[in-house]
């Protein structure tokens, strides 16, 4: 594991300070012919599909020309929406700026074509890249050690809670079987705790939108293993008592989990180590440019305090005295390995590119612009939409449909669908659950004032439509390839294969 062994701010070396360094790393990873070796591995693992599951023909399957099939799939592709096509104000799930040059770097042959069974001496560049990313994330978070192993944010969260559970087990504190989770938490928080066999005790969010210390103190007990916090929380509000809460946990032998989903608001600005966080997962796609759409691939590295560095999942990358990089499996109380090999490597390349493009001196700009953009939207839309919490917010803002629902019978889903008619991806809806009819917007740091102004104008126009022609909003979308779906049926009974009746 890489450790933050000093208190000096992380400095990118001069020779590493540009994209030019990525090909330098590449040259250290030798592309070599593994075809014979690969074929042996593949032939060993591939088994035949049982004959009864293979259909030789499909009744009434359409017989079409090449032109028709190409046009069919081309037209389908035009129905997709992506960050390259339009603004994506998806709150609490940042759709980051994904520089195309990062895709180029991830696709360099020396990175793209290496095999996970390649000898370490032939992939020193790839291992050095992983080592540098471990160091970067450790310093950015202000924590002690890092493992890039988890394949996604949710898996990083599961691994983090596993570490907490094993820490208590190792210290003969098996009676600590309860996790405190705020009611504003991401749904994965209580799910991760439950998957680890822990109980969940809910903490109510205070009237100002953050956890009140007295509530945590009241819920505290000898059975508490940890608290799971998100800073800033899912309302975009900073947890102002986080240091006091962390001290309360540590004084009672409990640990602090930090959900890193909202790191975009604080990167380069705040130290999670100083807040008292013991383990935190970092969604690379939310803070360091990796594409997010389509469900992956992702990367959810975990960073930990001194208390948990001996419990990290393995392997991680280490460096010996001769400056050679190698995979290290020596963590004494490791919670084990949760996926094949070493993480989704292409995501790691993109993340390091993004971090090095800013450099330590400019990382804070990410947070500053994301907070500025979110508050620009907040102030512009406050006269038109209900704001349930007036406390200052950081990188995102949560409105509700209260004004439109009570006066015009138009709800959040109607507004979201109407936005699609104007060429925008809808914001996050109905989350967090503590806000009835929530509309959560997160513009990120990468959108221009012109884009924000157009979005604001559209939201104001929809607010006016709710007042003057509500039926147009309630029956939206009108300009998309598919009209309004039965959301429940689409989620619970998806049609994934073609058949005659379809």
Q: Which residues contact 497 (CB under 8 A, 6 or more apart)?
A: none
Q: Which residues contact 499 (CB under 8 A, 6 or more apart)?
A: 58
Instruction: Tell me if 150 sits within 8 A of 285, measured CB to CB.
Output: no
pLDDT (0 to 100) of residue 60: 78
Q: What angle do CA 101, 103, 107 make, to 5 degrees?
A: 115
Q: Which residue has the higher pLDDT, 369 or 285?
A: 369
What is the DSSP-derived secondary structure letter of residue 49?
P
pLDDT (0 to 100) of residue 485: 84
Q: pLDDT over 90 for what percent of the chain?
A: 66
pLDDT band, very low/low/confident/very high, at 34 (cuts 50, 70, 90): very low
| Helices then strands, each counted (H, E), the chain | 19, 13
Q: What's the pLDDT tens digit per position in 336-367?
A: 998 888 888 999 999 999 999 998 889 999 99
Specify the pTM: 0.85
pLDDT (0 to 100) of residue 318: 94
Distance CA 206, CA 184 (A): 10
Instruction: Tell me if 257 sits within 8 A of 229, measured CB to CB.
Output: yes
Mean pLDDT lowest among 12-21, 271-280, 300-309, 376-385: 12-21
pLDDT band, very low/low/confident/very high, at 36 (cuts 50, 70, 90): very low
Give the three-state DSSP class for 311. Answer: helix
Q: Are strands 302-304 and 428-429 parallel, antiparallel or unpaired?
A: unpaired
Give the three-state DSSP class for 29. Answer: strand
Q: Which residues contact 116 (CB under 8 A, 6 or more apart)?
A: 340, 341, 342
In this structure, the number of other CB atoms found within 10 A of the CB of residue 114 comes to 20
Instruction: Tell me if 222 sits within 8 A of 176, measured CB to CB.
Output: yes
pLDDT (0 to 100) of residue 96: 74
Mean pLDDT lowest among 56-60, 125-129, 220-224, 360-364: 56-60
Element holding 203 (H helix, E strand)? strand 199-203
Q: Is 296 exposed, middle or buried (0-12, 13-18, 19+ CB in 10 A)?
A: middle
Distance CA 351, CA 13 (A): 17
Mean pLDDT lowest among 73-77, 207-211, 409-413: 73-77
43 has pLDDT over 80: no
294 has pLDDT over 70: no
Q: pLDDT over 70 for what percent of the chain?
A: 88
Distance CA 411, CA 401 (A): 6
481 has pLDDT over 90: no
37 has pLDDT over 50: no
pLDDT (0 to 100) of residue 16: 54
pLDDT band, very low/low/confident/very high, at 92 (cuts 50, 70, 90): low
Element holding 399 (H helix, E strand)? strand 397-400
Q: Which residues contact 330 (CB under 8 A, 6 or more apart)?
A: 314
327 has pLDDT over 90: yes
Distance CA 287, CA 294 (A): 17
Q: What's the pLDDT tens digit per position in 76-88?
A: 888 888 888 889 8
pLDDT (0 to 100) of residue 44: 52
Q: What's the pLDDT tens digit per position in 162-211?
A: 999 999 999 999 999 999 999 999 889 999 999 999 999 999 999 999 99
Q: Which residue has the higher pLDDT, 23 or 241?
A: 241
Sign (positive or negative) of CA dihedral 177, 183, 185, 189: positive
Ramachandran area for residue 92 (φ above 0: left; ψ -120 to 50: alpha; else beta): left
Provide the H-helix boundaries in 173-220. 188-195, 213-219
For the segment 208-228, the average pLDDT, to the nearest whole number, is: 97
pLDDT (0 to 100) of residue 429: 94
Instruction: Tell me if 131 sits within 8 A of 325, measured CB to CB.
Output: yes
pLDDT (0 to 100) of residue 24: 60
- The overall average pLDDT reported for the chain is 88
Q: Which residue has the higher pLDDT, 29 or 463?
A: 463
Q: Is 174 exposed, middle or buried (0-12, 13-18, 19+ CB in 10 A)?
A: exposed
pLDDT (0 to 100) of residue 489: 87
Q: What's the pLDDT tens digit per position in 101-154?
A: 998 999 999 899 898 889 999 999 999 999 999 999 999 999 999 999 998 888
For the segment 218-237, the average pLDDT, to the nearest whole number, is: 97
pLDDT (0 to 100) of residue 27: 59
Hey, what long-range contacts does 485-489 have (CB within 8 A, 24 or more apart)?
A: 487/413
Mean pLDDT lowest among 273-287, 317-331, 403-417, 484-498: 484-498
463 has pLDDT over 60: yes
12 has pLDDT over 70: no
């Amino acid at each position: 594991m890489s450790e933050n062994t000093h208190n000096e701010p992380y400095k990118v070396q001069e020779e590493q300070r540009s994209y030019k360094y990525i090909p330098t790393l590449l040259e250290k990873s030798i592309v070599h012919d593994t075809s014979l070796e690969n074929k042996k591995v593949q032939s060993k693992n591939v088994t035949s599909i049982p004959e009864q599951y293979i259909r030789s023909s499909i009744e009434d399957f359409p017989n079409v020309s090449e032109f028709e099939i190409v046009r069919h799939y081309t037209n389908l592709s035009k129905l997709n929406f992506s960050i390259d096509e339009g603004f994506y104000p998806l709150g609490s799930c940042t759709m980051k700026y994904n520089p195309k040059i990062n895709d180029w770097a991830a696709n360099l042959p020396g990175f793209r074509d290496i095999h996970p069974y390649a000898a370490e001496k032939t992939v020193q560049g790839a291992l050095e890249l992983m080592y540098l990313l471990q160091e970067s994330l450790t310093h950015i978070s202000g924590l002690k050690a890092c493992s890039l192993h988890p394949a996604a944010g949710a898996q990083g969260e599961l691994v983090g809670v596993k570490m907490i559970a094993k820490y208590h087990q190792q210290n003969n504190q098996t009676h600590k079987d309860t996790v405190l989770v705020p009611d504003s938490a991401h749904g994965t928080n209580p799910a991760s705790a439950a998957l680890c066999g822990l109980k969940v005790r809910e903490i109510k969010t205070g009237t100002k939108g953050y956890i009140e210390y007295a509530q945590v103190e009241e819920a505290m007990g000898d059975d508490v293993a940890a608290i799971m916090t998100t800073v800033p929380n899912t309302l975009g509000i900073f947890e102002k008592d986080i240091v006091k809460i962390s001290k309360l946990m540590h004084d009672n032998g409990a640990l602090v989990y930090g959900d890193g989903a909202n790191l975009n608001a604080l990167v380069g600005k705040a130290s999670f180590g100083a807040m008292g966080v013991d383990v935190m997962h970092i969604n690379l796609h939310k803070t360091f440019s990796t594409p997010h759409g389509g469900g992956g691939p992702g990367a959810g590295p975990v960073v930990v305090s001194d208390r948990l560095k001996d419990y990290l999942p393995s392997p991680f990358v280490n460096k010996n005295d001769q400056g050679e990089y190698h995979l290290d499996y020596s963590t004494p109380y490791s919670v084990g390995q949760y996926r094949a090999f070493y993480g989704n490597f292409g995501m790691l390349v993109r993340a390091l590119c993004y971090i090095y493009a800013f450099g330590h001196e400019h990382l804070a700009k990410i947070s500053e612009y994301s907070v500025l953009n979110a508050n620009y939207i907040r102030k512009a839309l406050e006269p038109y939409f209900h704001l349930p919490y007036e406390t200052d917010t950081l990188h995102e803002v949560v409105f509700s449909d209260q004004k439109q629902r009570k006066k015009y019978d138009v709800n959040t889903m109607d507004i979201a669908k109407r936005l699609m008619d104007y060429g925008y991806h809808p914001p996050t809806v109905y989350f967090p659950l503590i806000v009835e009819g929530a509309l959560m917007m997160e513009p990120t740091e990468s959108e221009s004032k012109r884009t924000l102004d157009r979005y604001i104008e559209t939201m104001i126009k929809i607010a006016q439509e709710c007042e003057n022609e509500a039926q147009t909003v309630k029956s939206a979308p009108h300009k998309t390839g598919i009209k309004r779906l039965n959301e429940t049926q689409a989620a619970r009974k998806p049609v994934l294969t073609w058949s005659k009746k379809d």
